[in-house]
Amino acid sequence: MRTVGVEEELLLVDARGAASPVAPLALADAPDAGGGPAVSAEIQQEMIETQTRPCETMTALLADIVAGRELADRLARPHGARAAALAMSPLRMRPHATTDDRYEQMMQRYGVTARGTLVCGCHVHVGIASREEGVAVLDRIRVWLPVLLALTTNSPYAGGVDTGHASYRFVVWHQWQSAGPTDVFGSVEAYDRFERLLVDTGVILDKGMLYLDARLSHKQPTIEVRVADVCLDARDTVVLAALVRALVETAAAQWRAGEPPIPLPSAALRLAEWQAALTGVSGRLPHPGTGLAGSAADALAALLAHTTPALERTGDLALVRRGLARIVRTGGGAGRQRAAFARRGRMRDVVAAAVAATHEESQDDDGDDRDVA
């Protein structure tokens, strides 16, 4: 069975709900990873990244995600902060760059795009057998990535206002030069030429700044899917991970069978992502198979139908069905944030509710969740 691992970027917030630049202090006390999840610095001091171990089961992955969140929170607490799974700060803030030669070079070179960007995403790594398989997978999962973004939207508020987007992180993140979808590559050689060309433009520093929605990892034999907001609910992160693994397995099988990828241009995928970021799971969304206008509900049904055989083989189908029903019912992180604000009209309540949701103990889905079919 393919392994899957997750990296989550968490926002550090103080008692007032404001982003707090305490990551250097918190990480100074971080233990060795040992046999559990790890934590590390990110570009801004108001963030901590957690990394799970490669896992084969969603039960093990959920345990590592929860443990990583608890570790980040435990390290932040002595410095007056909490770790929250928020993709952007709902309150006004001014980021503080992490002291690091590479980050300092980015701050000097890229201006406010680097200095002012504080967004938290979720990256899912799935094991691959070879780079050839990896590129074939990239070519075949690309049309499904807008649906994954819709499922994980968790940044409706930024700077004290409702942005009108379910994922404003998407809008901010795409100020970076290389962020976004790619066209079909067709071969490892074409993928490598693409990477070399982008680096050789001199616009980005190195391959580490290839902020593609999905890419081959440069550090390990995995596909890395980077399109998602960090999820408010750890269970939603697991649903995302299960779907990404199922997409990878399905794409690899299609490649082995000689089935060509869907040839939608990257410009059409960018529009689909933009729509997903605007309305999440509750609005319109182009259909993944055709690129034509449709609803998020139809796109979700298509995603589930496409991945059902792979999910059955891994034993994750029931978990994903329940999870999709829960996300649709609540509106996911974006819906839950807006519900928290609606109670008293206070952004602090949004942050407080997010902290509580980040660290709530994993429980079985309630009986009101019905399958999404």
What's the number of domains the chain is made of? Answer: 1
Mean pLDDT across the chain:
95
**Predicted confidence (pLDDT) per residue in 133-164, tens digit:** 999 999 999 999 999 999 999 999 999 999 99
pLDDT exceeds cutoff 50 at 69: yes
Model confidence at 360, pLDDT cuts 50, 70, 90, reads confident
**Residue 369 domain-assigned (yes or no):** no
Q: Which residues contact 192 (CB under 8 A, 6 or more apart)?
A: none
**Residue 367 domain-assigned (yes or no):** no
Q: Which residues contact 343 (CB under 8 A, 6 or more apart)?
A: 349
**Predicted confidence (pLDDT) per residue in 87-138, tens digit:** 999 999 999 999 999 999 999 999 999 999 999 999 999 999 999 999 999 9
Largest CA distance in the chain: 56
Model confidence at 35, pLDDT cuts 50, 70, 90, reads confident
> What end-to-end distance do the CA atoms of the chain give, in Å?
25
What is the pLDDT at residue 371? 47
**Residue 364 domain-assigned (yes or no):** no
**Residue 370 domain-assigned (yes or no):** no
What is the pLDDT at residue 266? 97
Task: Tell me the whole-structure pTM to 2 decimals.
Answer: 0.96
Segment 59-77 shows an average pLDDT of 98
One-letter amino acid for residue 359 of the chain: H
pLDDT exceeds cutoff 80 at 169: yes
What is the pLDDT at residue 372? 42
pLDDT exceeds cutoff 50 at 237: yes
HSE of 355, CA atoms in CB hemisphere, 13 A: 23
HSE of 177, CA atoms in CB hemisphere, 13 A: 17
Q: How far apart are CA 164 and CA 154, in angstroms?
A: 12
Q: Could you tell me the CA-to-CA distances from 185 to 83, 132, 188, 190, 216 in Å, in that order? A: 38, 11, 8, 6, 12
Segment 208-215 shows an average pLDDT of 97
**Residue 371 domain-assigned (yes or no):** no
Q: How far apart are CA 210 and CA 178, in angstroms?
A: 6
What is the pLDDT at residue 362? 43
Segment 167-187 shows an average pLDDT of 97
One-letter amino acid for residue 259 of the chain: E
Question: Any idea what the Cα angle at residue 114 is, between residues 108 and 116, rounded to 5°?
Answer: 120
For the chain, the C-alpha Rg in angstroms (whole number) is 19
pLDDT exceeds cutoff 70 at 254: yes
Indicate the SS3 state at residue 127. strand
Q: How far apart are CA 344 and CA 54, in angstroms?
A: 41
**Residue 251 domain-assigned (yes or no):** yes
What is the pLDDT at residue 364? 43
What is the pLDDT at residue 32? 84
What is the pLDDT at residue 366? 43
Nearest CA among 278, 50, 30 for reference residue 170: 278
pLDDT exceeds cutoff 80 at 253: yes
**Residue 363 domain-assigned (yes or no):** no
Q: How far apart are CA 317 and CA 210, in angstroms?
A: 33
Picking from 34-38, 69-73, 245-249, which range would have the lowest pLDDT averaged per residue? 34-38
What is the pLDDT at residue 339? 98
Which CATH number do you get for residue 348?
Answer: 3.30.590.20
Residue with tokens 């100020």: 175
Q: Name the residue range of residue 61's domain.
A: 4-358
Model confidence at 363, pLDDT cuts 50, 70, 90, reads very low
87 or 372: which leads in pLDDT: 87
Instruction: Determine whether 125 is exposed, middle or buried from the number of CB atoms within 10 Å of its CB (0-12, 13-18, 19+).
Output: buried
